[in-house]
Amino acid sequence: MAPPADPLTPIDAIAGIVQGTRRAYESGRTRTPEWRVSTLHALRAGLIEHERAFESALTADLGKPALETFATEIGFTLAEIDHALANLGGWMAPRRVPTPLTLEPGSSRIVAEPLGVVAVIAPWNYPVQLTLGPVVAAVAAGNAVVAKPSELTPEVDAVLARLIAGLDEPAIASVHGGVAESTELLAQRFDHIFYTGNGRVARVVMRAAAEHLTPVTLELGGKSPAIVSRHANVGVAAKRIAWGKFLNAGQTCIAPDHVLVETTVHDQLVTA
């Protein structure tokens, strides 16, 4: 059943949601290749089904045009899903590795195992891609997932709630709301936390994760120089730097932050 337009999650329900995902994981079903493939296919189908709704929501929340929506949100995430589906068999296959002499006559293999229940806490600048991309990775690895989209893009949040509700509940679940809901979510025990956003909130995430010795992945953006040498096609370089900086109104973690240019082509590049 689709959630209401306002998908705010009651704070006293959050612990139960996380416990439900853990029971689903402990049942063993998320570990199977069949579950991973079927869930990725369901996510792909849901993304296509809700494409127009995401377009409208991204325009309402961020003023993002349809072309950028497909290129940076829908199409990007579909490519992530297709990549996972194409490579899942190889990722899951045990890999033979050399056995140390001290352990002969044994044999050795590396076997990839899921971690358990993963929390994905997403930002507002790419609210579809940066919510569902990490979910794709977690599902491909055989984990149960709780996603927390950004409350700063409420229209997108509502569409994400509908999409996620159509997946394998309770193995794939979502929590919606602001600081209070995020705080309660981080009070729960997870086996991995994936957070994209700023350093201030990342410190809060790490402190909460430390209570349970939970490993984290933090994607916090960075400084991204563009380097232009005297051998470059300056016109092409200028066009690409401008495109990278203006894409998504500049709100991209790897947008060019500054330009290092050889003196002999400096004025030409500035003009271009």
DSSP state of 101: G
Residue 232 backbone zone (phi > 0: left; psi -120 to 50: alpha; other: beta): beta
Largest CA distance in the chain: 69
Phi, psi (rounded to 5 degrees) for 133: -60, -55
Q: How many residues does the chain have?
A: 272
d(CA 251, CA 74): 17
Handedness of CA 31, 32, 35, 36 (dihedral sign): positive
Q: Single out the catalytic residue among 68, 73, 253, 262.
A: 253
Long-range contacts of 196-205 (CB under 8 A, 24+ apart): 196/121, 196/122, 196/123, 196/130, 196/134, 196/220, 196/253, 197/121, 197/123, 205/121
For this structure, is 211 an active site residue?
no
Q: Which of 68, 151, 169, 219 is catalytic?
A: 219
Q: Is 104 a catalytic residue?
A: no
Which sequence positions are flagged as catalytic? 219, 253
